């Protein structure tokens, strides 16, 4: 998967490039609007991460031009301004998603992945991670063949983590996906719920599946 | 317009002067007119009186020459001022009796053309006289008519009038000089307090905002102005204080995480360390940065709620379902704290709201309620339709808020308990954000609290605002 990062701020573009490369993407960087348009026309990208504030041609212009040329690849806007009007404008001009600085890299990664996924997640009946089995149809979770008793919300939370196994999920993303709370709330709420889930899922077993990633969020994987 | 530039003192003086001069002119003019008419009437009456007396004597006692002589010759001769003369002329024009010397002053011919009426004549010497000639029947005889000629000098009268006129002019010219001077002084005195107010206003700057204008001793209108001005200063000082405090608090909130990041990184870089140690430092720094991002996010959000022209996107929201969802979300933390969390709303209650903003507002209130309610307590979330609109209540059985803190609750960074709220995520911005969200909805937020009993927060969203997007006023 090939991503074009359009960002004029040196440090930002450096960490974006490094981070995205390490996440398995091929990354090219453009430092201004004109270069971005040129590169997007010449090379085939799967996605563009586009900063709004750019020299020569700003993000809006780049977005407008690329859409007018009929390019349909997903474009994710980055901006320092958290104005609703900007958000609306972005979507009207054809942006697929929108992220306000400062943002968590994990959040960006998750959004890029969901934009590239195109087709919805494969509805696997049973999700398996190490000795964990999540049976979505029967609403049942098992570890090492033993049934784990979960509440409805805990089950949804576990399903989310298992579906995205290996992917770090921010607290905001978890709150949004499980409880439909789309605001940066007191993140303590998510911590409490994850702790309860851990109590049932991980505490009785030597292998802990849910890991805390400091300053970012949670990830479920089978690594020791 | 040049008119605008004239000073108030100048204008007052001008009006004062014009008014006083007009009044003076009117007064002196009226008095002059009264004096002249009075004097005229006096002399008219005097003449009529004399003629009447002489006529009566002639009619009643035509042969009493002594009385006639006394009346005509002696009485008038005895007068020193307001000289008057009387003469008796028979039907043939022959002088029978006259005041001594009358012939030399007003001879008989002067009275020609004055039969039966009062007129002005000039004496031989050229001085003015008022005179009359009246025909009188002589008693006893048939058809014998004599003429009584009387003349009174107007010299005294005219002198008085002239004197009066001189005085009048003198007074008018003196006051046309004096009244602008006096008027200016009065105007200056009158507007002196205005200047004091202006001076005080000029003196007051950002560092002397606590100064006030002393309104004592000012006239009512200006005292009112001074009080209004002071009230404005109160508000200004308050906003200024809040702003200063806000900056100081902001700097403090920023300093703590930045200091942590800086210190940890500096220490980590001081000598080579294991990967694990580096990871620890980076992880810790990330946590601090997360905190900073959250702070920035909240401040940006607040700025947005305060900027005019911010619109919200209301949608039809099932309030009962929304409250239940929020209760569900906070159930974990409530359970952990041993607090009973309940939500109740009439089934099917609907309102037009910005869903995620309302979630955020109610979420902030619940976080506060849970943080301040000890185990065993309860937090109730409820909603109802009142006459004014939708009301959402968050009630807790917590420790309550001291009355003196309530007015400041919505200030940014304000924390009731400065020491307690150092928990992660708590910046003291939650209630400011709640209020911002309510303002965007055209509603308001009220706090009622009793120490050791609990706190109620009521969110009020007017029905009118719920029908469409509302601009912040």
Mean pLDDT of B435-447: 89
The Cα A5–Cα A25 span in angstroms is: 11
The per-residue pLDDT for B34 is 93
Structure tokens at B460: 């009020």
B65: in domain = yes
Q: Does one domain contain both A55 and A161?
A: no
Number of domains chain A contains: 2
| CATH assignment at residue B274 | 1.10.287.130
Specify the DSSP class assigned to residue B388.
Answer: S
B20: in domain = yes
Q: Do B304 and A216 make contact, defined as CB atoms within 8 angstroms?
A: no
B174: in domain = no
The Cα B460–Cα B446 span in angstroms is: 8
Distances (CA, A) of B349 to A41, B258, B319, B352, B473: 53, 46, 6, 11, 28
Closest residue, chain B, to A214 (C-alpha): B283
Q: Does one domain contain both B329 and B461?
A: yes
Residue where a domain stops, chosen among B162, B197, B212? B162
With H, G, I as helix, E, B as strand and everything else as coil, classify residue B443: coil
| CATH assignment at residue A141 | 1.10.10.10
B319: in domain = yes
| CATH assignment at residue B454 | 3.30.565.10
B199: in domain = no
A186 contacts in B (CB within 8 Å)? 363-364, 367, 425
| pTM of the predicted structure, to 2 decimals | 0.61
Place of tokens 């590239």: A116
Residue ranges of chain A whose CB lies within 8 Å of a chain B CB: 82-85, 100, 102-104, 153, 175, 179-189, 192-193, 196, 214-216
Residue where a domain stops, chosen among B287, B306, B325? B306
Residue where a domain stops, chosen among B113, B147, B162? B162
In angstroms, the separation between the Cα of residue B330 and the nearest Cα of chain A is 6
Nearest-CB residue to A189 (from B296, B313, B332): B332
Q: Does one domain contain both B299 and B324?
A: no
pLDDT tens, position by position, A131-187: 999 988 888 899 988 999 998 889 999 999 998 888 888 888 888 888 888 776 565
Q: Do A185 and B287 make contact, defined as CB atoms within 8 angstroms?
A: no
What is the torsional sign of CA B180, B185, B190, B195? Answer: positive
Kindly provide the ipTM of the predicted complex, given to two decimals: 0.71
Q: Does one domain contain both B44 and B125?
A: yes
Q: Does one domain contain both B385 and B455?
A: yes
Bridge-partner residues for B462, per DSSP? B389
Q: Do A186 and B367 make contact, defined as CB atoms within 8 angstroms?
A: yes
Q: Does one domain contain both B112 and B67?
A: yes
Instruction: Say whether pLDDT at B268 is over 70.
Output: yes
Please give the residue range of the domain that contains residue B333: 315-467
Q: Does one domain contain both A84 and A152?
A: no
Backbone angles phi, psi at B271, to 5 degrees: -150, 160
CB A98 within 8 A of CB A76: yes
Q: How many residues does chain B have?
A: 473
Please give the residue range of the domain that contains residue A67: 2-117
Q: Does one domain contain both A80 and A148?
A: no
Q: B113's torsion region: left (phi>0), alpha (psi -120 to 50) or beta?
A: left
Q: How confident is the model at residue B467 (pLDDT cuts 50, 70, 90)?
A: very low
How many whole angstroms from its chain centre is CA B202?
20
Residue where a domain stops, chosen among A117, A140, A172? A117
Q: Does one domain contain both B285 and B319?
A: no
Number of domains chain B contains: 3
pLDDT tens, position by position, B168-224: 999 999 988 998 898 888 888 888 877 877 887 788 877 777 878 777 777 787 788
């Amino acid at each position: 998967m090939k991503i074009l990062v359009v960002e004029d701020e040196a440090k930002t573009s450096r960490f974006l490039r490094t981070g995205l490369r390490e996440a398995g993407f091929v990354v090219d960087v453009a430092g201004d609007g004109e270069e971005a348009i040129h590169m997007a026309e010449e090379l085939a990208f799967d996605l563009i991460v586009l900063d709004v504030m750019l020299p020569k041609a700003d993000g809006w212009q780049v977005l407008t031009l690329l859409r007018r040329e009929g390019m349909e690849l997903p474009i994710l806007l980055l901006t320092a301004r958290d104005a609703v009007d900007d958000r609306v404008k972005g979507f009207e001009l054809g942006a697929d998603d929108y992220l306000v600085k400062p943002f968590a890299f994990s959040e960006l990664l998750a959004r890029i992945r969901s934009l590239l996924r195109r087709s919805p997640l494969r509805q696997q009946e049973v999700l398996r991670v190490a000795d964990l089995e999540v049976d979505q149809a029967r609403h049942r979770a098992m570890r090492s063949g033993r049934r784990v008793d979960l509440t409805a919300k805990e089950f949804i939370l576990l399903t989310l983590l298992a579906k995205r196994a290996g992917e770090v999920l921010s607290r905001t993303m978890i709150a949004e996906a499980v409880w439909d709370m789309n605001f940066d709330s007191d993140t303590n709420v998510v911590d409490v719920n994850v702790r309860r889930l851990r109590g049932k899922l991980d505490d009785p077993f030597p292998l802990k599946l849910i890991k805390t990633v400091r300053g970012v969020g949670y990830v479920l994987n089978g690594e020791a | 317009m040049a008119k605008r530039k004239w000073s108030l003192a100048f204008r007052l003086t001008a009006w004062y002067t014009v008014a006083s001069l007009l009044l003076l002119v009117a007064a002196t003019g009226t008095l002059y007119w009264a004096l002249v008419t009075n004097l005229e009437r006096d002399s008219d009456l005097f003449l009529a009186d004399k003629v009447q007396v002489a006529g009566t004597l002639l009619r009643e006692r035509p042969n009493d020459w002594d009385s006639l002589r006394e009346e005509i010759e002696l009485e008038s001769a005895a007068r020193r001022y307001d000289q008057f003369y009387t003469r008796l002329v028979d039907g043939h024009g022959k002088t029978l009796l006259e005041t001594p010397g009358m012939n030399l002053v007003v001879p008989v011919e002067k009275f020609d053309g004055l039969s039966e009426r009062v007129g002005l004549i000039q004496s031989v010497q050229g001085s003015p006289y008022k005179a009359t000639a009246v025909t009188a029947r002589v008693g006893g005889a048939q058809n014998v008519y004599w003429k009584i000629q009387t003349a009174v000098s107007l010299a005294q009268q005219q002198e008085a009038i002239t004197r009066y006129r001189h005085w009048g002019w003198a007074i008018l010219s003196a006051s046309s000089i004096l009244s602008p001077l006096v008027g200016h002084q009065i105007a200056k005195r009158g507007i002196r307090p205005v200047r004091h107010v202006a001076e005080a206003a000029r003196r007051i700057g950002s560092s002397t905002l606590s100064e006030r204008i002393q309104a004592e001793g000012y006239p009512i209108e200006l005292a009112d102005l001074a009080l209004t001005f002071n009230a404005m200063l109160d508000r200004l000082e308050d906003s200024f204080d809040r702003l200063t405090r806000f900056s100081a608090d902001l700097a403090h909130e920023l300093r703590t995480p930045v200091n942590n990041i800086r210190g940890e990184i500096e220490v980590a870089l001081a000598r080579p360390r294991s990967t694990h140690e580096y990871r620890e430092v980076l992880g810790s720094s990330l946590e601090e940065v997360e905190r900073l991002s959250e702070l920035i996010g909240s401040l940006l959000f607040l700025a947005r709620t305060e900027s005019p022209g911010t619109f919200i996107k209301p949608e039809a929201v099932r309030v009962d379902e929304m409250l239940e969802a929020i209760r569900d979300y906070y159930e974990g933390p409530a359970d952990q704290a041993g607090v009973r969390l309940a939500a109740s709303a009439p089934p099917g209650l609907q309102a037009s709201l910005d869903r995620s903003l309302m979630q955020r507002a109610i979420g902030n209130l619940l976080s506060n309620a849970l943080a301040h309610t000890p185990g065993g307590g309860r937090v109730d979330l409820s909603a109802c339709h009142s006459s004014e609109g939708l009301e959402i209540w968050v009630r807790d059985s917590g420790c309550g808020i001291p009355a003196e803190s309530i007015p400041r609750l919505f200030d940014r960074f304000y924390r009731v308990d400065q020491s307690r709220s150092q928990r992660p995520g708590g910046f003291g911005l939650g209630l400011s954000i709640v209020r911002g969200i309510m303002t965007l909805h055209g509603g308001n937020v009220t706090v009622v609290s009793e120490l050791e009993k609990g706190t109620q927060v009521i969110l009020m969203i007017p029905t009118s605002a719920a029908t469409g997007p509302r601009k912040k006023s």
